[in-house]
A = this chain, B = another copy of it.
Amino acid sequence: MKPTAIIVTIGDEILIGQIANSNSQWLAQKLFSIGFTVVKMVSIGDNPQEVKDILEYTKNRYALVIFTGGLGPTNDDKTKLILTQWFNSKLILNEDVLANITNMVFRRTGSHILNQRNHDQALVPECCTVLQNEVGTAPGMIFNKCGNNTVYVSLPGVPFEMKWIYENHVLNFVQQNFDLIPQTYDLFYVMGISESALAHRLEEWENSLPEEWKPAYLPSAGLIKLRIFRPNPITEIYANSLAELTNLLGENLVASNEESVQDSIARLLIANNLTIGTAESCTGGNIAKTFTSKSGASHYFKGSVVAYSNDVKINLLGVKSESLNQFGAVSKEVAEQMAIGLAKKTNCHIAIATTGVAGPTGGTIDKPVGTVWISIYIMGQIFSEKFQFSTLREVNIERSTNTAIYLTYKHLSDFIKQ
């Protein structure tokens, strides 16, 4: 059987939109990278019939089916019972799982006494391979010798538990049991051009490519990601096509190869021993968060001031109150003083400042919702630009963030070339 896979999430919370389905995305990335073709993702409710329908539909049709969710200690969690029944198996106590649960509960509560619910999490279907969960109480399960050619895996729905069991057990299992060829794609981050103008520019190049290399365009606020599946091993023709693409993209290409634009900035900062910080009004800490969510950020990210009020702009960033009165908080003067003030106060080489009207309220005739000033300070030089984004708050925050990061990359790489 070809290494095809289906990812299934179980839980009403996804069908009513209460939570994001981040598990499916994470698993899809992992399965793709090791060589699986994820054909479909499905979300269904905590409903025995729906689970059974999926089991029937997928058996002997796909190589691998991964379920997440429905393994908790509470009454709404039914996945383990449904699987036990469908595989004509029965629940038995697993002593290793029991020991692990006892240990987890002791670490959390200081007591060795388990309540019935935690105890019952150590009951597992007799026919499955049990996957120990060292970061939670629900074990994972692999059903691979249960009467059909499809391998079924059941994992908890809590994201960090699911990830831990995948990385510590499932990955190894599938690599040993399937013929897999690792796969990846090349990714190009393109800014400062519209999607249709970009497609127009690349038209001739795109027509010259074989079908399997046709690029996919992923537009988001102010940024287009261009994706091309990379042959394994890489051929000379492919390498030449990419070189031509890089040439066509020119200055609009801001990062590539699975690196985000922030990663490109981080690479430049580390290589040149430089540090960065942010002074954010309308982006509210979003730019800082994109830097600090990466491990190792403390080597180049000094810190940030979220300046929602004039007090903060004046006291922490040294913005002049006359400038606030004369030009308003959303102005070139204030954006520049914020950037310079942050660089001075935090001793960083580069400072990003944003000030704007995110909306939905706060707009005026002169400065409607979506008006944003962005200033980039780079060791004594300052670059400022005004933008008119959208009427939607979330779009304004996202576009301001993306644009500020893009401008930082552009001015920083120019600066370093000097």
Contacts and interface: CB of A to CB of B under 8 A. Distances in A.
Given A19-B25, A72-B219, A195-B74, A293 B284 contact: yes
Given A16-B29, A289-B286, A44 B38 contact: no
A417 interface: no
A148 interface: no
Contacts of A316: 303, 305, 316, 345-346
A68 interface: no
Given A285-B288, A309-B302, A346-B315, A22 B20 contact: yes
B218 A311 contact: no
A347 interface: yes
A306 B304 contact: yes
B292 A284 contact: yes
Copies in the complex: 2
A363 interface: no
A128 to B, nearest CB: 22
A117 interface: yes
Interface in A54-95: 72-76
A201 to B, nearest CB: 10
19 contacts: A17-B25, A41-B43, A42-B43, A72-B219, A76-B217, A109-B197, A115-B197, A158-B219, A158-B220, A160-B394, A275-B309, A284-B292, A286-B289, A289-B289, A295-B358, A302-B311, A303-B305, A303-B309, A311-B346
B397 A293 contact: yes
Minimum-distance CB pairs A-B, first 8: A284-B292, A17-B29, A17-B28, A303-B312, A285-B288, A304-B306, A285-B285, A41-B43
A216 B108 contact: no
A164 B314 CA distance: 38
Nearest to A26: B17
Given A29-B16, A195-B72, A308-B303, A288 B284 contact: yes
A383 interface: no
A22 to B, nearest CB: 7
A413 interface: no
Interface string A189-219: 0000011110110000010000000111111
A130 to B, nearest CB: 19
Contact of A109 (B19, B24, B194): B194
A360 B20 contact: no
Contact of A306 (B285, B312, B347, B362): B285
A16 B32 contact: yes
A199 B74 contact: yes
B16 A38 contact: yes
Interface string A342-383: 000111000000000011111000000000000000000000
A160 B393 CA distance: 10
A118 interface: yes
A288 B306 contact: yes
A99 interface: no
A306 B292 contact: yes
A67 B144 CA distance: 34
B42 A15 contact: no
Contacts of A250: none
A127 interface: no
A18 interface: yes
B284 A196 contact: no
B312 A346 contact: yes
Given A16-B29, A285-B292, A305-B316, 20 more contacts: A13-B218, A15-B38, A20-B21, A72-B195, A76-B215, A108-B194, A117-B200, A275-B309, A284-B297, A285-B285, A286-B289, A292-B306, A292-B308, A296-B361, A298-B308, A303-B305, A303-B309, A311-B346, A315-B347, A316-B345
Contact of A217 (B16, B74, B390): B74
A12 interface: yes
A302 B308 contact: yes
